[in-house]
Every structure is written in C-alpha cells, then in structure tokens.
Amino acid sequence: MQEDIWCRIEGRAGRITLRRPDALNALTWEMCLAIEAALDAWAEDNAVDLVLIDAEGSRAFCAGGDIAEMYAAGIKGEYGYGQRFWADEYRMNAKIFHYAKPVVAFLQGFTMGGGVGVGCHGSHRIVDDTSQIAMPECAIGLVPDVGGSLLLHLAPGRLGEYLGTTGARMGAADAIYAGFADNYVPNGWDDLKAALCTTGDVTVIAAAAAPPPDAPLAAAQAEIDALFSGETLGDIVRSVAAADGPLAERAAKALSRNAPLGMACAVEMLHRMNDATTMADALGLEYRFTHRALEHSDFVEGIRAQIIDKDKSPKWRHSGPEAVPATDVARMLMPLGPDALKI
C-alpha cells in the first residue's frame, strides 16, 4: 500500500511528495508530522541544498486538511484532538516559513486551506495555468489559519479582507499579485524539478519562468479597497450590499453563505495585525480561535453541511453577518494563557 507522503533525498534536494491524489492530497495529522520530521532531518544535512515539495495527480497540490476525523472528535466532545492537531500543524507551518534553506513548492490545481500552509510559506512558490489558490475556511465555520492570515495581512490593500471572508479563488496571476506565489511556469515542471535536484540551485527557476498574465485582482484593487475597508464585518456587508457590479454581487453571495462568526473573527484578526506582526504572532492568534473551534464555533456544523451530509445548508450560530456581537468575536480571540500556542 502506498504511503500518503514520500520524503526522501534525491540528488541535492530533500523531496516531499504528497501522495493522496484521490483525496485531492488532503493533509492528515500523520502527514504534518512527517513533513516536520523531514525538515528537521535535513536542516543540518550538508547533502541537502534545498527542499522540493510537490504532489501527485493533476487536480490538486493539497485541497486542505483531512477534517473527517476532526468532525468525529467534535461530535464526541473530544476537543483536545483538534487542539493537538492544530498545534502540531502550525509548528510545521512555522518551520517551512523560517527554514534556512530554500523551499520550492509546485502548486498545481487546488491549493487551499491546509495546502496553503504547506505550499505557500516557502521561498519559491511555483504556479501554472491550473493553479487555484484560496483560503475558504469561513465556508466551514473556521477562520483563515495555517499562517494564511499573515499572507492575507501582507496582500495589497484590502485583498486580505476580501479573500479571507469570501474565500475567492486565485489563479496563477492573482496568486502572484496577492503574495501567495512567486513564479509562473506554464510549460511542464518535470525538467525544472530534475534541474533543481541535480544542481541544488534555485536560480534555475528564473530560466524556466515566464511573465504571468495580467492579474484580475490588480484591475479590481480599487473596487475591493472601497468595499472591504470597513472596521467590522457588518460595515463590510453593508458596503457590499450598497454596491453594484459583478464583483460586489459575487462577494455578497459569499458573505451571505459563509459562517458569520468565522468571517467576523477573520476581519478582526487582520485588523489586529501590523507591520511588526510575525508568523508566530499570526499562528498564535489563529490558534486562539481554532483551540476553541470544536466547542464554541460553527466548525463542526460547517463540516457536517459541506463534507459529511453534503446538504450545503449549515445552521450557523448567528442569523447573518450583521448579527455577530463584538463580544462573541472577543471571546473567540481571547488569550489562551497556559494553553497558548508554543512554536
């Protein structure tokens, strides 16, 4: 039986390949631990010049975390399961972000949620015409996490609020524009991967890359900034509702569909960040929410509606995005004291 992940040294590269293509390479707890172990093993290994992360199959690099087990634990009241999983996953995300050697990720197809945490924190993030990158956690009652909140914070203007609350998908050009990717390599990746393994030299990426197409998000930047500049989720919802046009219409649908508490907390998290915010800060803030998520958020209901029963009719705790009291947001993002994330 094939392992879900394959970690090995090939030439000058440490290679990590996700191997669950039938499950869109959804990330399990064991896969998180295997990635961390490989990074630790190669950190001081002089035979490894860079780390190359890829995935099998054409449909997805990694479409997110494998959350069926999370649901099972949540309905049993076993809240510690999620707390331990997220702590281990976030520690791995931070190691990729801070890794001393180049980390090259090849992001075909869907790269979402937990996949962003593996693929979008490296030094060289490669996309092509199939790439679809997003942070859609609010659709299942969570908040953008795995360090994705820092990427959203660093995105131009109010793109973070837009992408984080709506879960809008980014193609290659948009992902590069928003800071989730670096290089557009449209014509097959096998030769580039072979060159990276042979040479251990990331400068070969530039020779294979092409200028990306125009980014739709760049053209929409001014409109997004105007619609998503509100201080709270309610402010944003009212601004979007008062606007006309295709973007506002799509955004309004997403804001009415996604979990109100998750979206409200996502907006608050981004507004708490500043120029000095670090990856550890972002993960720590995310963990305040996820540590409480199985017990106190819409996450279990969101998984039920989207993944388990697939009725696409979640019954959220709040009647709408304008009905989330500030006290509920504050409660989800309160410091955790001794339970705070340790990285």
Q: Which of 284, 262, 300, 281 minimizes the C-alpha distance to 87? A: 284
Cβ neighbours, 10 Å, residue 43: 14
Residue 180 in domain: yes
pLDDT tens digits, 3-47? 999 999 999 999 999 999 999 999 999 999 999 999 999 999 999
Domain-embedded: residue 34: yes
Residue whose pair of structure tokens reads 């631990």 in the numeric block:
33
Strand partners, 183: 126
How many Å is the Cα radius of gyration of the chain?
19
Q: What's the structural domain count of the chain?
A: 1
Give the pLDDT band (50/70/90) at residue 187. Answer: confident
pLDDT above 90 as % of the chain: 97
Whether 310 shows a pLDDT value over 80: the answer reads: yes
> Quick one: pLDDT band at residue 67, thresholds 50, 70, 90?
confident
Q: What's the CA gap between 303 and 305, in Å, rounded?
A: 6
Kindly give the residue spans of alpha helices, DSSP state H, lying in the chain.
29-42, 68-75, 79-98, 114-119, 148-154, 159-166, 172-178, 190-199, 204-208, 216-219, 221-227, 233-241, 246-257, 260-272, 279-296, 299-303, 326-332
Residue 209 in any domain: the answer is: yes
Summarised one tens digit per residue, pLDDT across range 88-139 is 999 999 999 999 999 999 999 999 999 999 999 999 999 999 999 999 999 9
| 67 lies in some domain | yes
Mean pLDDT over the full length of the chain = 97
pLDDT for residue 280:
98
pLDDT tier for residue 68 given thresholds of 50, 70 and 90? confident
Chain centroid offset of residue 209 CA: 24
Question: Residue 1 falls within a domain, yes or no?
Answer: no
CATH code (residue 244): 3.90.226.10
Q: Which domain holds residue 185?
A: 6-339
| Dihedral sign computed on CA atoms, order 172, 253, 310, 120 | positive
Closest to 51 in 3D by CA, of 108, 4, 115, 7: 7
Kindly tell me if the per-residue pLDDT of 1 is higher than 70. no
